[in-house]
Amino acid sequence: MARTDAIVLGAGIVGTSIALHLAKRGLAVALVDRAGVGEQTSFGNAGIIEGNTIFPPAFPTDFGALARIALKRAGEANYHFPFLPQIAPWLLAFRAASRPRHLVETARLIRPFYARAAAEHEALLAESGGAHFLRKTGWLKVYRSERGFKALQAEFDLAAQFGLRLQTLDTAGAQALEPSLNPVFAHAVFWPQAASVSNPLGVTRSYAARFAKLGGVTVSGDARSLHRAGNRWRVETNEGGVDAPEVVVALGPWAPDLLNTLGLKLPLMVKRGYHRHFRSDGNAALSRPVLDAGVGYVITPMEMGIRMTTGIEFAARDAAPSPVQFDRIMPKARELFPLGERADDKTWLGSRPCFPDSRPVIGPAPGFAGLWLAIGHAHWGLTLGPATGRMIAEMMAGEAPFCDPAPYRAERFL
């Protein structure tokens, strides 16, 4: 292979966006994946570009919610009992990071990064010919209980401080936006600045096609073959060895498979999640993603039908699928929206790569010259892919990053 300036390992939305941003800066880049571009976690998400995120998902404090989860009756969470001892230290750290004071600190830290998320996507979609995937129709969250709605006050206060727009709506107000929703909820919140895409795989593929047009090369190979070769990094691919002075690890939930062998142990766990597609009954339709907050699922209009994504499942990344949350969710979901027949015959399973403080790690790998990390985007990797690509490309090029990278340093765990 000709001269390569940088290798990017992992062609999900994060790695592909990084490769594209590096290629835009004139670097010769090899993007390496063992599967097809965008076919793993980045394939199956709810398609929401959520630049409005204020608080990251938090460990529940409500006793009722905890009891429902423990008794395996919750739509929002499931767990594999034998996995609990393994994940217990991570869960304790996650619970500590979920204390109200820490959540507010996190909200302030992550704001500048999230604030650029939608604009960065829009720019890449425009230059990649993928603008047709983008819907700037916001995100609607519906609340069935007074308690769930009242608990949002802290979020509303911070939204006002951050200058984020939102509208609180009653049932009729929400139905004016989404006429097919049934009145099984009393309150809704409309976040007009959120966007969504109608095909997340199509988005990543558009970015990969743009990368190729700029001279970038995508090759099939196993990232675990990465090793030092003199003062360069080398990875074995189906087209022979590729070496470069700099390499970016963007392996999503598989990052530990490589980093552990290098001796870099970071507390990356997964929150698994599922999706299924449905047709709508009759003329029912949706124009935007809808979160049924107390029940714990999202329905989003996609090119493939209405995609329903579940909340989280704590289980080993490679354990067999156990999509029991659908049994808990479906009766409630059918109450809210007239879902028809299944539009697919397979339930998709993906793994959100998560650090306990809900912030990704983006930046140089401590102690490894030329090794960079872009992992752990958790619930918001689709949202943050292009902003991550820009931030890390700016750092690698020695430019001032568009926002302070300090909250994303790996050192916070070492």
Ligand X SMILES: Cc1cc2nc3c(=O)[nH]c(=O)nc-3n(C[C@H](O)[C@H](O)[C@H](O)COP(=O)(O)OP(=O)(O)OC[C@H]3O[C@@H](n4cnc5c(N)ncnc54)[C@H](O)[C@@H]3O)c2cc1C
Amino acid at 320: A
- Closer CB to ligand X, residue 289 or residue 401? 289
Only one of the segments 7-15, 20-28, 101-109, 401-409 lies at the binding site for ligand X (rule: CB under 6 A); that segment is 7-15
Supply 250's token pair.
Answer: 């963007």
The single residue among 377, 391, 393, 403 that binds ligand X, judged by CB under 6 A, is 377
Question: Residue 40 interacts with ligand X (CB under 6 A)?
Answer: yes
- Closer CB to ligand X, residue 186 or residue 304? 304
* CB 385 within 8 Å of CB 13: yes
The single residue among 6, 19, 22, 46 that binds ligand X, judged by CB under 6 A, is 46
- Closer CB to ligand X, residue 150 or residue 391? 391
For ligand X, the binding residues in 247-306 under the rule CB under 6 A are 250-254, 257, 273, 275
Question: Residue 125 interacts with ligand X (CB under 6 A)?
Answer: no
Q: Smallest distance, Å, CB 39 to ligand X?
A: 6
The single residue among 217, 382, 387, 396 that binds ligand X, judged by CB under 6 A, is 382
Alpha carbon 277 to its chain's center: 19
20: enclosing H helix or E strand: helix 13-24
Only one of the segments 26-34, 186-194, 314-322, 390-398 lies at the binding site for ligand X (rule: CB under 6 A); that segment is 26-34
* CB 378 within 8 Å of CB 360: yes
The single residue among 7, 8, 42, 333 that binds ligand X, judged by CB under 6 A, is 42
Q: Smallest distance, Å, CB 43 to ligand X?
A: 7
For ligand X, the binding residues in 325-354 under the rule CB under 6 A are 350, 352-353
Q: Which residue has the tokens 């090793």?
A: 227
* CB 233 within 8 Å of CB 245: yes
Only one of the segments 100-108, 167-175, 365-373, 377-385 lies at the binding site for ligand X (rule: CB under 6 A); that segment is 377-385
Please state, as a whole number, how many other Cβ atoms lie within 10 Å of the Cβ of residue 402.
Answer: 15
CB within 8 A of 204, min separation 6: which ones? 11, 12, 13, 16, 37, 38, 42, 43, 385
- Closer CB to ligand X, residue 314 or residue 380? 380
- Closer CB to ligand X, residue 14 or residue 336? 14
Only one of the segments 9-17, 102-110, 187-195, 397-405 lies at the binding site for ligand X (rule: CB under 6 A); that segment is 9-17
Q: Smallest distance, Å, CB 388 to ligand X?
A: 9
Q: How many residues bind ligand X (CB under 6 A)?
A: 41
> CA 86, CA 183: separation in Å to the nearest integer?
42
Please state, as a whole number, how many other Cβ atoms lie within 10 Å of the Cβ of residue 291.
Answer: 22
Nearest to 375 by CA among 193, 252, 245, 214: 252
> CA 112, CA 94: separation in Å to the nearest integer?
22
Q: Smallest distance, Å, CB 40 to ligand X?
A: 4
DSSP state of 320: P
For ligand X, the binding residues in 190-249 under the rule CB under 6 A are 222-224
Only one of the segments 36-44, 97-105, 179-187, 276-284 lies at the binding site for ligand X (rule: CB under 6 A); that segment is 36-44
Please state, as a whole number, how many other Cβ atoms lie within 10 Å of the Cβ of residue 229.
Answer: 12
* CB 80 within 8 Å of CB 315: yes
Question: Residue 370 interacts with ligand X (CB under 6 A)?
Answer: no
DSSP secondary structure letters along 332-373: HHHHHS-EEEES-SS-EEEEEEE-TTS--EEEEPTT-TTEEE
386: enclosing H helix or E strand: helix 381-396
Only one of the segments 22-30, 40-48, 108-116, 313-321 lies at the binding site for ligand X (rule: CB under 6 A); that segment is 40-48
> CA 148, CA 275: separation in Å to the nearest integer?
24
- Closer CB to ligand X, residue 199 or residue 383? 383
Residues of this chain that bind ligand X (CB under 6 A): 10-15, 32-35, 40-42, 44-48, 50, 222-224, 250-254, 257, 273, 275, 309, 350, 352-353, 377-383
